[in-house]
């Protein structure tokens, strides 16, 4: 049975998911998703800007698992945030993925026509095309800028999160509206320093787990939905095998003390929005 977290809109999200960022759409994504489903994942996270939505949809279809048992997320890229474009992109995404609905759809970045895009998401949710809607990479600054103008509070904010970057200010802000945080780079993108932290290696020995499992268990106990990525089936399996032990209050406190307060990506940095808007053309291969 997959552990779930109840979102602020009443829908349930599996507590751990499988992310497909940077997995190529050359059959690799199809294979990875199929294997992730085989080892028991029921939550797959993709995005328009990952260029692999189609393979994700095909793997889900070919898995033989009933659609309602798989939680599927995708994200709208900033190039398509204008209201009419966003509406047609949602329909095109469902068609591309071969799905009648998405369980969660996010605004991928906090730049451009954010409020227009959010309105399109709200309407798609009302129409049953999307079950839950949320945002991604929203810092406290962007949250305060945009969310007060939304008719609906996002159910999710997907941001960088790991023991070195625990998003304390953001979590306090989001707790007011019971917004669930999803972690991209939940293992710190394989940061060697993080994986060699004495407290983490000690806990791995104590519990007979690997370092990654200790990190993911910490995040799970913090109420964070983690989205680890791997193309190795054995690693996929171990990443989700985190529910048969529990870290103590003291151990959680020791892991919280690892927080450095900053990550590898700063959405608030000058020029990030402009760069992402012009960096590449999402429709170059359409």
Say whether 283 counts as a known binding-site residue: no
The 8-class DSSP code of residue 150 comes to -
Cα–Cα distance between 286 and 272 in angstroms, integer?
A: 25
Helix (H) or strand (E) holding 93: helix 83-97
Residue by residue, DSSP assigns 216-284 as HHHHHHTTPEE----S-HHHHHHHH--SS----HHHHHHHHTT--S--S--TTSTTHHHHHHHH--TTT
174, 146 Cβ separation under 8 angstroms: no
Could you say which of 30, 41, 50, 164 is catalytic? 50
First to last CA, the chain: 39
- The answer to whether the CB of 32 falls within 8 A of the CB of 56 is no
Are the C-beta atoms of 160 and 184 separated by less than 8 Å?
A: yes
> How far is Cα 86 from Cα 71, in angstroms, rounded to an integer?
22
- The tokens for 55 are 């393979």
The yes-or-no answer on residue 83 being catalytic is no
User: Which residues are part of a known binding site?
Assistant: 108
Which positions are annotated as active-site residues?
50
Residues in binding site for substrate: 108
């Amino acid at each position: 049975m997959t552990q779930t977290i109840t979102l602020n809109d009443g829908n349930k999200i599996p507590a751990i998911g499988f992310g497909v960022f940077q997995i190529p759409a050359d059959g690799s994504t199809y294979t990875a998703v199929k294997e992730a489903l085989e080892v028991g994942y029921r939550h797959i996270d993709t995005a328009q800007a990952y260029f692999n939505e189609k393979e994700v949809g095909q793997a889900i279809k070919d898995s033989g698992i009933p659609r309602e048992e798989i939680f599927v997320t995708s994200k709208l890229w900033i190039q398509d945030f204008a209201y009419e474009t966003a509406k047609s992109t949602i329909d095109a995404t469902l068609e591309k993925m071969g799905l009648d609905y998405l369980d969660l759809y996010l605004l991928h970045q906090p730049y451009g026509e954010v409020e227009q895009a959010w309105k399109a998401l709200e309407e798609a949710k009302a129409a049953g095309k999307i079950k839950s809607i949320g945002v991604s990479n929203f810092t406290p600054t962007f949250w305060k800028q945009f969310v007060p103008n939304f008719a609906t509070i996002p159910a999710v904010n997907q941001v960088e999160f790991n023991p070195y970057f625990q998003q304390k200010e953001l979590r306090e802000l989001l707790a007011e509206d019971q917004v669930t945080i999803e972690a991209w780079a939940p293992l710190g993108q394989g940061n060697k320093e993080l994986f060699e932290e004495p407290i983490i290696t000690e806990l791995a020995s104590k519990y007979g787990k690997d370092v990654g499992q200790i990190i993911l268990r910490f995040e799970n106990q913090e109420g964070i939905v983690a989205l680890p990525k791997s193309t190795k089936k054995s690693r996929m399996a171990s990443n989700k095998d985190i529910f048969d032990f529990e870290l103590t209050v003291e151990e959680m406190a020791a892991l919280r003390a690892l927080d450095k307060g900053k990550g590898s990506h700063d959405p608030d940095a000058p020029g990030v929005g402009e760069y992402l808007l012009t960096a590449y053309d999402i429709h170059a291969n359409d």
